[in-house]
A and B are shown apart, each in its own frame.
Chain A
Amino acid sequence: MKILKLFIIIIILITNFTKGNSNESKDNLVNKISKNIRCLICQGQSIYDSQSDFSISMRLVIKKKLEEGLTEKEIYDFLKDKYGQWITYEPEFNKKTFILWIMPILLFIIGGAILFNRLFVKKY
């Protein structure tokens, strides 16, 4: 069957690439956090992407804080305390931002209701 052939091809594909997973988990964590932090002197880049002075210093600070034993969340809180919410790419869920998170889902539910009405409610 054609689909079996396709399946075999996929299995071959998957077992064929290198893993290359670096096990330096602390460095990985620095990278992970850096991708979520905005470079304040750049135009729309994270401190992971940017090579500016600020970004390089920030990555060092994050590494230092991780070595001091802070958790990921504590580091985000530390940075937000210093620089405000604008520095993280993930908006908080609080009084001012709950609309941001809730509105799309609300719209989805309303859309679903309209759909349900259209499809299942008898019209005369």
Chain B
Amino acid sequence: MLANQIGYYSLILGLISSIIIIPISLKNYPHNNETIDRKIFSLSFFQFFFVLVSFIGLVFSFINSDFGNETVYNNSHTTKPLFYKISGTWGNHEGSLLLWLLVLTFFIFLFLVKSKSQPKKYRILTLLFQQTIIIGFFIFVLKTSNPFNYLFPTPKEGMGLNPILQDPALAIHPPILYLGFVGSSVIFSSSLAAVVQGYISKSWANHIKIWILISWFFLTIGILLGSIWAYYELGWGGFWFWDPVENVSLMPWLSLTALLHCILVLEKKTILTSWTIILSISTFVLSVSGTFLVRSGILNSVHTFANDPERGLFILFFLFFLIFLALIVFFMFHKNGNHETVKINFLSKETSILINNWFMMYFLSVVLIGTLYPIFLEVLTNEKISVGPPFYNKLILPFLVPFLIFMTFVPYLKWIKSEFNKIKIDIILLFILSFIVSILLFKQFGFESLMISILIPFTFYLFLITAKDLLSKNKKNFSQKVSHFGFSFLVLSILLNSIFSSEIIINLKEGERFSFQGGTITFHSLEENNGKNYKSIIGNFEIYDDKNQSIKLMPELRIYNQPSIVTSEADIKTTLFYDKFLVMNSVKNNEYFNVRYQVKSFMIWIWISTLILALGGFLSFTKRLYEK
């Protein structure tokens, strides 16, 4: 009860601080000294502090199962394990918005503290732009999504949290993801501030790069966690479905990756300034649009947030307010400067980055159009269509081939002239090697799809090239090499996984056995158990392969009481080469169980390669920190 009150009033105090910041900053703005008024620091700290207290208040309400709080009532239950009570705080609409505010206020405070060497007016403007976002969210929370609504009389028990969300990966997925795309708010605000000040320059790029790296790193890991959860929890053995929620996290990532590459150019030369600003704006705009798309109920997706058109309306108008704001600032203040007249040498780093951006924007447009088109079509012609994996595969895979090819030599364009003779032999050798590998694979296993047959040699080739670079003695641009290797490894793992995975779906009764080419599945027995807040039925299965080696797999059915849901927990045995994945579902009115056995090749490499990809960004970040 007390936590609830503290939380609510702290939130109000936070709003008040965020409003007060504006006149004080405006007053401090025209002064010619280079230091920011201490009051502004204190206020932005208080703003963050009050949101933090409010957030902790909500956490305590969840821990204490204070069902007088409507949010806790809707999303928790006394029998929930403590860890999930806590993570339930942000596993719902209101709490996750509080998380938005937390990250927004934290990042701007951190920005002010860490940017002391930057021009004062630029810093104050960044703060002001960020404040419009923060105040917008404060109003959104307090008016439509208050996490501290009180219920009277106090219910004795809560409505429970969906058990599918009770998973460690999913518990930390939102905070990490938010550090990524909410973090891009600072990039948005600072780029608008820099435009107003005419400060789009090498030193600005140098300074903003760290923020881009931070946002990019967390966004990559956040997406990875979401995929891991989908793979382990949802039971179909897939990790990416082109569901709107997934697309909505991928779009800012694509934009941010393009931006990261651009900023590397801007650090050294004052060109591509307009484009860099556009990318900075679009990354955050995509994040907010994403929030709109998944919370407003406009799209049909697996997302579990309660959908409410009133909230959707608010975010919609706030989103377009931000877009118009950015547009006006851009067109009013941006000077085209000298970049139009600087010729870009073809054999240069700039060309490499431009080609990367060209493809990134293409992939982004595919995902964006695929996600939004059904909405537009339905409003304009009343016809409902679905856009799913076949669309994305057909439009992305063919372009992946030239993209991979470009990646093998484009990062080295600058040195191609001088080094070409030296590396010619290596390149040809590796190329031949990849083709040999592909032919061997093709002969052994055959390929269904022509597209995949074409992709394999180029993916292998890129993989070998990036590996060679990583292992070479030249340690220049090491973090870039790590990330590019991680990326090529990721594409390779996904490709091999999709080609070599297999599955069997059958209905089995207890005691039965099924033979397939490559082995047998035996359904030995069933066991019943009682977990903390569910009853469990465990199936004992044994799978023999053709060498008569066996593994035991024990998938589980969990029958929850609050809410009343049956979930199916897969049993997965992971090795370096494959995951063996078994899931069972009960068939209504039947003693049979629907059993799904999958062999997923190279699954673990998909996760590891993504980590390597993110690691490159992390290394770049620590290098900058170390240099400072």
| Interface, chain A (partner B; CB < 8 A) | 2-3, 6-7, 10-11, 13-14, 16-24, 27, 31, 35-36, 38, 43-46, 48-49, 51, 53, 56, 84-92, 96-97, 99-101, 103-105, 107-108, 111-112, 115, 118-120, 122-124
Contact = CB atoms under 8 A, between A and B. Distances in A.
Nearest to B433: A7
Contacts of A6: 464, 467-468, 471
A17 B370 CA distance: 36
B388 A18 contact: no
B355 A22 contact: no
Contacts of A38: 386, 388
B377 interface: yes
5 contacts: A19-B518, A31-B505, A91-B386, A104-B369, A115-B354
Instruction: Identify whether the interface residues of B are mostly helix, strand, loop, or mixed.
Output: mixed
B388 A90 contact: yes
Contacts, number: 168
Interface of B: 234-236, 238, 241, 243-244, 300-303, 340-341, 343-344, 346, 351, 354-355, 358, 361-362, 365-366, 369-370, 373, 377, 381, 383-391, 394-395, 399, 426, 429-430, 433, 437, 440-441, 445, 460, 464, 467-468, 471, 500, 502-505, 516-519, 545, 568, 577-578, 585, 587-588, 594, 599, 601-602
B100 to A, nearest CB: 23
A77 B317 CA distance: 40
B165 to A, nearest CB: 14
B386 A87 contact: yes
Given A3-B468, A97-B377, A119-B351, A22 B386 contact: no
A46 B517 CA distance: 27
A22 B599 CA distance: 11
Contact of B387 (A27, A48, A91): A91
Contact of B365 (A3, A92, A103, A122): A103
Given A11-B437, A119-B346, A17 B386 contact: no
A107 B340 contact: no
Contact of A21 (B369, B395, B517, B594): B517
Nearest to B568: A51
A18 B518 CA distance: 8
A85 B355 CA distance: 36
Contact of A49 (B236, B346, B399, B429): B236
A78 B276 CA distance: 49
Contact of B588 (A17, A35, A53, A124): A53
Given A49-B234, A97-B377, 20 more contacts: A7-B433, A19-B500, A21-B518, A22-B502, A22-B516, A38-B386, A43-B302, A44-B241, A44-B244, A44-B302, A51-B585, A86-B385, A87-B386, A89-B391, A92-B385, A100-B373, A108-B399, A111-B358, A119-B351, A119-B354
